[in-house]
Amino acid sequence: MDICTANYALSVEVRKFIENVGDVKEESITDYLVWKWRELDKRFNYLRVTPFNHDEESSTTGADFDLELWLVGNSFQISLAVQAKKFIKRNDSYVTRLRYPKGSKAQMDKLLSYAKSRGSSPFYFIYTLPEATTISMCGGRYGLISKAEDGAVFMADAHVMEDYANGTHGKRISRDQLLSAANPFHCMFCCPLAGSAAYFNNYFPVASGLPPRHRVEVPSYVRRLLDSAKDSNPDIALEPTERDGLQAFRIVGVYDMRNDS
């Protein structure tokens, strides 16, 4: 499948998963997302920073964030530090929920600080079930993609979400207000600007505000994941020093866009 079709299909699969497993938690949705992504598209590869056995829940790894995601093209490389949130209801205490835990906003502050220290772009993945009235920043109208509600994964700049958490847009905000400041996940691969830093600079200028990060050499673990992406059973392990530096994440994922950029 071409890059847009593949990632649109992934978004639809994640939506079906959430619809059919109503009480599923964010960690499990992220696990499903990366597993299904790998299954559908060999341009993607991933590994767990802290492996766990079948008797453990993924949420017990002690990681602060869900995913470090690298997008690697011919002329740019960008790493996303991702925290996931499941926001399903049209209206909920979303300002309070963004200020997790207990109104402190400590989780968000840590994400922003950590991303800045590593030269990453801080993002929230919002897992949700949007409706026909939901309008995102881009609208998702590229080729076969016609409606934002087709998928269940939206991407939002953590700096913009911080404005909502700080009450800049009021004390009560709806799900669709948040999604109006986000883009469907598959737009990252379907937009005419996809495959370059231009997509992030256009839609997420604050998150992608440090130009050098688009030219920085990728770490060795990212190169190994890229090299093994087409293997049926890739055997990739982190070096001890690499694992120590990635303890904030549960999962590291790499998407090879070099033939699509």
Q: Could you read off the pLDDT of 89-143 as tens digits, one per residue?
A: 999 999 999 999 999 999 999 999 999 998 899 999 999 999 888 889 986 554 4
Question: 16 CB contacts (<8 Å, ≥6 apart)?
Answer: none
Q: Label each residue of 195-217 as H, E or C.
A: CCHHHHHHHCCCCCCCHHHHCCC
Q: Could you tell me if residue 149 is inside a domain? A: yes
Query: pLDDT of 138-197, one tens digit each?
Result: 865 544 444 666 789 999 999 999 999 999 999 999 999 999 999 999 999 988 888 888
Q: Could you tell me if residue 261 is inside a domain? A: no
Q: Alpha-carbon Rg of the chain, whole angstroms? A: 17
How far apart are the C-alpha atoms of 239 and 242, rounded to whole Å? Answer: 5
**Could you give the number of structural domains in the chain?**
1
Q: If DSSP codes are grouped into helix, strand and coil, which group holds residue 11?
A: helix
Q: Could you tell me if residue 9 is inside a domain? A: yes
Domain that holds residue 8: 3-256
Q: Could you tell me if residue 180 is inside a domain? A: yes
